[in-house]
Amino acid sequence: MGFQTLEQALERKHTLVFCGSGGVGKTSLAAATALHGALRGKRVLVVTIDPARRLADSLGLEELGNKAVAIDISRLPGAENGGSLHAMMLDMKTAADELIALFATSEERLQQVLHNQFYKTITESLAGSQEYVAMAKMYDLIKRPEFDTVVIDTAPTKYALDFFEAPTRMLDFLDTKIVGRFLRPIKRLQRFGWDIFRKGSEKIVEQLEKLVGLNVLSEFSAFIIEFEDMFSGMRDRSQLMHGCLQDGNQTILGIVCSANASSVDEAIIFARRLQELGMPLGFLIANRVHRSPFITAEDRDRVWSLLNDESALANLAPALGVDHEQSPAAAVRSLLTDASTAHRFARADQFHLRRLREEAGASIPLATIPFLDQDICDLDRLFLLGSFLFDPPRSTT
The interface with another protein within residues 50-109 (CB under 8 A) comprises 50-52, 54, 57
Burial 19-53 (b: 16+ CB within 10 A, else e): bbbbebbbbbbbbbbbbbbbbbbbbbbbbbbbbee
111 near another protein (CB under 8 A): no
Applying CB under 8 A, the span of 31-39, 69-77, 116-124, 235-243 interacting with another protein comes to 116-124
251 near another protein (CB under 8 A): no
Please state, as a whole number, how many other Cβ atoms lie within 10 Å of the Cβ of residue 344. Answer: 12
The closest of 163, 120, 119 to 139, measured between CA atoms, is 163
Q: How far apart are CA 275 and CA 268, in angstroms?
A: 11
Tell me the closest approach of the beta carbon of residue 228 to another protein, in angstroms.
13
295 near another protein (CB under 8 A): yes
211 near another protein (CB under 8 A): yes
168 near another protein (CB under 8 A): no
Applying CB under 8 A, the span of 11-19, 123-131, 187-195, 235-243 interacting with another protein comes to 123-131
Q: How far apart are CA 316 and CA 322, in angstroms?
A: 8
Burial 124-160 (b: 16+ CB within 10 A, else e): eeeeebbbbbbbbbbbebbeeeebbbbbbbbbbbebb
The residue from 96, 263, 270, 379 that contacts another protein (CB under 8 A) is 263
Residues in the chain: 397
Nearer to another protein, 24 or 189 (CB): 24
Tell me the closest approach of the beta carbon of residue 261 to another protein, in angstroms.
5
Do residues 289 and 353 lie in contact, with contact meaning Cβ atoms separated by under 8 Å?
yes
What are the residues whose beta carbons fall under 8 Å from the beta carbon of 291, sequence distance 6 or more?
A: 342, 346, 370, 371
Total interface residues for another protein by CB under 8 A: 85
The closest of 78, 76, 52 to 64, measured between CA atoms, is 52
Nearer to another protein, 180 or 392 (CB): 180
312 near another protein (CB under 8 A): no
Nearer to another protein, 107 or 298 (CB): 298
In three-state secondary structure terms, 158 is helix
Nearer to another protein, 196 or 214 (CB): 214
Nearer to another protein, 231 or 248 (CB): 231
DSSP string, 252-292: EEEEEEESSHHHHHHHHHHHHHHHHTT--EEEEEEEEEPPP
Applying CB under 8 A, the span of 32-40, 70-78, 210-218, 275-283 interacting with another protein comes to 210-218
308 near another protein (CB under 8 A): no
388 near another protein (CB under 8 A): no
Nearer to another protein, 10 or 222 (CB): 222
Task: Tell which positions 126-165 bind another protein, by CB under 8 A.
Answer: 126-129, 156, 158-159
Q: How far apart are CA 20 and CA 264, in angstroms?
A: 10
Nearer to another protein, 83 or 328 (CB): 328
